[in-house]
Amino acid sequence: MAFSASDKGMLESYVEQSLPLEDMFTVRGKTALVTGGTSGLGFNISLRLLQGGANVVVSSHSTLEEEAAMPLFEQAGFAGKVAFKLCNICDEDDVAALVDFAVETFGSLDIYVNSAATWNYAHIYDLPKEDLERVFQTNVYGAFYAMKYVSRHMVDTGTKGKIVLISSDCPYMPFPVFGGYPHYASSKAAVMGLVTETAKELKRFGILVNSIAPGGMVTPGSAGNLCSEGISEEKQDEFYDELSIWATADLLPVDQVATMAYMMCTPASDGITGETIFVNGGANHNIFSRQVAIDAYPPEDD
């Protein structure tokens, strides 16, 4: 079959429509808001956004995190490009004020990344109601409030923005081996559902919504998470024994996850919305570099 003039014209259109590659991976001139942006994964995502050319507003519920993170951003050369606001993401009025602050500080809001989350450990038959409520208020309600006010601003201003929520692979993975955070896993599954539904609602406005589902990482949050204080010391000790055999998948460097989150904020991800991107080294496909030895599991009763 002959290669026609129209075929050649189609190829020429590909060339004309292709942005320079360096422009596909930049957020230069954009304003980003990162909740939970002063610690762990959120800090690293904020740093990558700053390196990519964005102005960044970071928020946290902790002034101690502000005091640790802000000087590091400034020492890295981003003074004047980053601002902090204290925010309780569980409080809708606080979140609305945070979005207003981002717009007032830098004049626009083009990117939102939610990395604010909390959890602890307990089996469902021991889990106090207060822990369930706290985890859902932070991980689900907080994400909902932020998306509500961020998307309202983007729709009202005609901003074709990017929204990225940090979920987790834990709703799909058998880690810990014997369970231990049903409230956290179900909250992160809710985040995935929130992303898909919100993507449906916002696509017509040119707003793209996705989530990143990391595997295990070493962050201040993960290193400091403990059992629920609402269960007995005996049950806590039993749980820590169980937890010690969970490590099957490799722990990822935090920056590998942060870099993927960054990419989802750039034009390189313009063809993706409503998706959850797993960044866990293949664990959700049962791809591991090691397996837990069989004798690490409790023996069956004789």
109-139 per-position pLDDT tens digit: 999 999 999 988 889 999 999 999 999 999 9
- Do the domain assignments include residue 176? yes
Least confident of 2-11, 216-225, 251-260: 216-225
Can you tell me the distance from the alpha carbon of 279 to that of 126, in angstroms, rounded to the nearest whole number?
31
Three-state DSSP string of the chain: CCCCHHHHHHHHHHHHHCCCHHHHCCCCCCEEEEECCCCHHHHHHHHHHHHCCCEEEEEECCHHHHHHHHHHHHHHHHCCCEEEEECCCCCHHHHHHHHHHHHHHHCCCCEEEECCCCCCECCCCCCCHHHHHHHHHHHHHHHHHHHHHHHHHHHHHCCCCEEEEECCCCCCCCCCCCCCCHHHHHHHHHHHHHHHHHHHHHHHHCCEEEEEEECCECCHHHHHCCECCCCCHHHHHHHHHHHCCCCCCCCECHHHHHHHHHHCCCHHHCCCCCCEEEECCCHHHCCCCCCCCHHHCCCCCC
Q: Which CATH number characterizes residue 120's domain?
A: 3.40.50.720
Q: How many domains does the chain contain in total?
A: 1
- Do the domain assignments include residue 297? no
What does the mean pLDDT of the chain come to?
A: 90
Q: Which domain holds residue 166?
A: 27-281
- Do the domain assignments include residue 233? yes
Q: Output the furthest CA–CA distance in the chain (Å, rounded).
A: 79
Radius of gyration of the chain (CA): 21
- Do the domain assignments include residue 14? no
From 112, 149, 184, 262, active-site residue: 184
For residue 293, the model assigns a pLDDT of 59
Can you tell me the distance from the alpha carbon of 257 to that of 277, in angstroms, rounded to the nearest whole number?
10
pTM, entire model:
0.90
For residue 227, the model assigns a pLDDT of 79
Can you tell me the distance from the alpha carbon of 154 to that of 140, in angstroms, rounded to the nearest whole number?
21
Can you tell me the distance from the alpha carbon of 121 to that of 99, in angstroms, rounded to the nearest whole number?
32
Peptide bond between residue 176 and the one before it cis (omega within 30 degrees of 0): yes
- Do the domain assignments include residue 22? no
User: Look-up: residue for tokens 């896993």?
Assistant: 185
Tokens linked to 74: 């400034």
Q: What is the pLDDT of residues 7-17, one digit of tens each?
A: 889 999 999 99
Can you tell me the distance from the alpha carbon of 63 to that of 86, in angstroms, rounded to the nearest whole number?
7
Position 222 confidence tier, pLDDT thresholds 50, 70, 90 = low
- Do the domain assignments include residue 202? yes
Are 263 and 257 within 8 A, CB to CB?
no
184 in active site? yes
Position 27 confidence tier, pLDDT thresholds 50, 70, 90 = very high
Mean pLDDT over residues 149-167, rounded?
Answer: 98
Least confident of 15-19, 57-61, 158-162: 15-19
Can you tell me the distance from the alpha carbon of 208 to that of 50, in angstroms, rounded to the nearest whole number?
21
For residue 160, the model assigns a pLDDT of 98
- Do the domain assignments include residue 241? yes
**Measuring CA to CA, which residue among 48, 35, 95 is closest to residue 266?**
48
For residue 269, the model assigns a pLDDT of 97
Q: What is the pLDDT of residues 241-270, one digit of tens each?
A: 777 655 555 678 899 999 999 999 999 999
- Do the domain assignments include residue 8? no
Backbone phi and psi for residue 165, each to the nearest 5 degrees, phi listed first: -105, 145
How far from each other are the two terminal CA atoms of the chain, in whole angstroms?
73
> What percent of the chain is predicted at pLDDT more than 90?
70
